[in-house]
Amino acid sequence: MKFKLSALLGACAVVSLATAGAVQAETITIATVNNGDMIRMQGYTSQFTQETGIDVEWVTLEENVLRERVTTDISTKGGQFDIMTIGMYETPIWGKNGWLVPLNDLSADYDAADILPAMSGGLSYDGTLYAAPFYGESSMIMYRTDLMQKAGLTMPDSPTWDFIRQAAAAMTDRANDINGICLRGKAGWGEGGAFITAMSNSFGARWFDMDWKAQFDTPQWHDTLTFFKGMMDESGPAGYATNGFNENLSLFQQGKCGMWIDATVAASFVTNPKDSMVADSVGFALAPHKDGVAKNANWLWAWALAIPAGTQKVDAAKQFIEWATSKNYIELVAANEGWANVPPGARTSLYENPNYISVPFAKMTLDSILSADPNHPTVDPVPYVGVQFAAIPEFAGIATEVSQEFSAAYAGQQTVDEALAKAQALTTDAMEAAGY
C-alpha cells in the first residue's frame, strides 16, 4: 500500500512537472460531464493547445453534480467557467435570460448551417444559437435479432407499443436470465423521467395544458403508467425501478435484455465487441408509438458547449468550441478510433459521409432525430418546448419529484393512481409557487 502510493506520487510529480513546462498562455476552464465522448475530447485537448496556444483546464463531473455546479455559477454570475457543457434543457432558458454568449458569428469554415436543424433549433432561443452541439441523440429501440428470430417475430421499422409488449413477453426467458425488455425506471428527470415523458407523448399525454395546468389526472397518463408498469412487471428485469441508462446498458451488453429503448448513442456501445457480448446481433428500430397516435416515444437531446456571458475569454472559448464541434474534430476521431466512435447526431454532413452511413446504427439514429419535434412534442398543443422535458426552469425539480413518485409505483410501494395523484398535487403546488 505504502509502496503503491509513493509510486503514484512519483508518477504524478513527473506528469505535473512535464505540464508545468508548457508555454505560458491563455487558459480557459471548461466544465463538462464524464461521458465517454467528452473524455475522449479531453484526450485530444493537447492537439487544440498545439494549434492555438490556448491551454485548457477541465472540470469533469458526474452529470448531476455538474448541472448543479454550473447552474449555481451562471445564475449568480460566478464566472468560474469559460465554457460549460449543457444540454437542450438549459440552453433556451439561459439564452432567454441573456446568460450565454450568442454563437451566431462562428467562422465560415465552421459551417454552422451544417448543424442538424433539430439540434440547432433546440439549442437556440428566438432564432439565435446559444450552444454548439458536441453530440446529439434521440432514442430508439435496440433489440436482439437472434432472440427476435427465436420468438418467431419480425420487428417492424416503426412498431406499436402493443407489438413491443407482445414481443417482450415472447422473448422473456427467466430461467436463462433473459428479460424481454429493459427500460429506465430510475428516479430523476434526466433518467426515468425522460423516458416516461417521451413515452407519454406517444400515448397522447402531455405535462401541461395551454394554461400551465398539470395533466397527470388525464386518462392518457394513466394509460402510459399502467402500460409501462404492466409490461415491465411481466418482462422487465428485477429491480427495474432503480435502473437508469448505465444499469440497462450493462444488462444489455451482458445479453440479459431482449429489447432496450434508450439513447441512440448507446448503439455504439452495444455494437462494440470489446464491451458487448451481443455486439453482432443487435437490430435497431424507431421508438414505438401507440396504435392511432402519430407521435413516437423518442426524445431529442444534445450535449452542447456554451459560453457564459461575462467571461473575459470569449474569443478563446469560441475557438475551442469551433474546434471541438467542427467537421475536422469528427475526422480526427474517425482517423484514430474509427467512424463508429465519432460524436454522432450533430452535423448533417456526417450522415452524408459514405464512411459513416455504413455504420449500422447511423440511419436509424438520423431517422429518430428527424422524427422528434421539440416545438410540437405532443398530440395536444402545449405551451412549452422540449420532447422529454419542458424548457422552463421549474421543470427539473418538479420532474425529479414526479419521477420519484413513479419509481415508488414501479417498485410496488404505491399504486399507479396514488403516484399520479401525488404527481398532480406536487406539480400544481410547484407551479403555483413559481407563479404560473
For the bound state, the minimum distance from the C-beta of residue 405 to other proteins, rounded and expressed in Å, comes to: 8
For the bound state, the minimum distance from the C-beta of residue 177 to other proteins, rounded and expressed in Å, comes to: 9
Cα–Cα distance, 80 to 32 (Å, whole number): 13
For the bound state, the minimum distance from the C-beta of residue 92 to other proteins, rounded and expressed in Å, comes to: 12
For the bound state, the minimum distance from the C-beta of residue 108 to other proteins, rounded and expressed in Å, comes to: 32
Strands 128-129 vs 124-125: parallel, antiparallel or unpaired:
antiparallel
Between residues 155 and 340, which has the closer beta carbon with respect to other proteins?
340
Between residues 160 and 393, which has the closer beta carbon with respect to other proteins?
393
Between residues 248 and 371, which has the closer beta carbon with respect to other proteins?
248
Q: Alpha-carbon torsion 341, 343, 346, 352, what sign?
A: negative
For the bound state, the minimum distance from the C-beta of residue 103 to other proteins, rounded and expressed in Å, comes to: 21
For the bound state, the minimum distance from the C-beta of residue 293 to other proteins, rounded and expressed in Å, comes to: 29
Between residues 92 and 159, which has the closer beta carbon with respect to other proteins?
92
Burial letters 225-243, b for 16+ CB under 10 A, else e: bbbbbebbeebbbeebbeb
For the bound state, the minimum distance from the C-beta of residue 230 to other proteins, rounded and expressed in Å, comes to: 18
Q: Classify residue 312 as exposed, middle or buried by CB count within 10 Å of its CB (0-12, 13-18, 19+).
A: exposed
Between residues 74 and 115, which has the closer beta carbon with respect to other proteins?
74
Between residues 163 and 436, which has the closer beta carbon with respect to other proteins?
436
Between residues 63 and 234, which has the closer beta carbon with respect to other proteins?
63
Between residues 4 and 108, which has the closer beta carbon with respect to other proteins?
4
Between residues 379 and 411, which has the closer beta carbon with respect to other proteins?
411
Between residues 375 and 413, which has the closer beta carbon with respect to other proteins?
413
For the bound state, the minimum distance from the C-beta of residue 269 to other proteins, rounded and expressed in Å, comes to: 6
For the bound state, the minimum distance from the C-beta of residue 83 to other proteins, rounded and expressed in Å, comes to: 12
For the bound state, the minimum distance from the C-beta of residue 150 to other proteins, rounded and expressed in Å, comes to: 23
